Amino acid sequence: MDHIGVVARNEGARLIVSKMREITKSSENVLISGDFNVDQRSEVYTFFKNSWNLKDSYEITPFKLAWTGTMNNFDPDMISDSRIDHIFVGPGFKVLRYGILTDSYRTLISDETRNQPNFPKEMMFKRSVVRFPSDHYPVMIEVSTER
């Protein structure tokens, strides 16, 4: 959804719910996920939660692995509690687990190796920098259709 225009975001939310209703007659087995570009305190988020019996999977799961929000701005030193990527589910789903996957990778700064004083001398280290594959963390859920 649009990350700048408030009107575009609001209209986008209405369009998504309208298309969902057009495609399926019941919200029972509806699952909608994506980068909504709004956090859990926004009007658009509340609109989705109040539309067509949808629930935020984060709020209804008994197990969460989510120590931060879903955005990182490509900066490993920053955290936020804002969740701008959401998975909304219909009443036919029981959310078993929810996770924000904060994996990162490293690239070498140089090939120079060095020892560290707290390790045996044969253990060598190289300098690296932490990187993220995206400015958002992936969100995952495990669901069951059995009640």
How does residue 113 score in pLDDT terms, banded at 50, 70 and 90?
very high
Do the domain assignments include residue 120? yes
Do the domain assignments include residue 14? yes
Distance from C-alpha of 66 to C-alpha of 80, rounded to nearest angstrom: 11
Burial of 13 (0-12, 13-18, 19+ CB in 10 A): buried
For residue range 10-40, list pLDDT tens digits in order.
Answer: 999 999 999 998 998 888 899 999 999 999 9
Residue 147's pLDDT is 67
Do the domain assignments include residue 1? no
Q: Which has the closest alpha carbon to 102: 123, 120, 122, 76?
A: 76
CATH number, domain with residue 57:
3.60.10.10
Do the domain assignments include residue 32? yes
Do the domain assignments include residue 77? yes
Range of the structural domain that residue 135 is part of: 6-144
Percent of the chain with pLDDT over 90: 83
Inter-helix orientation angle 6-23/43-50, to 10°: 10
Q: How many domains does the chain have?
A: 1
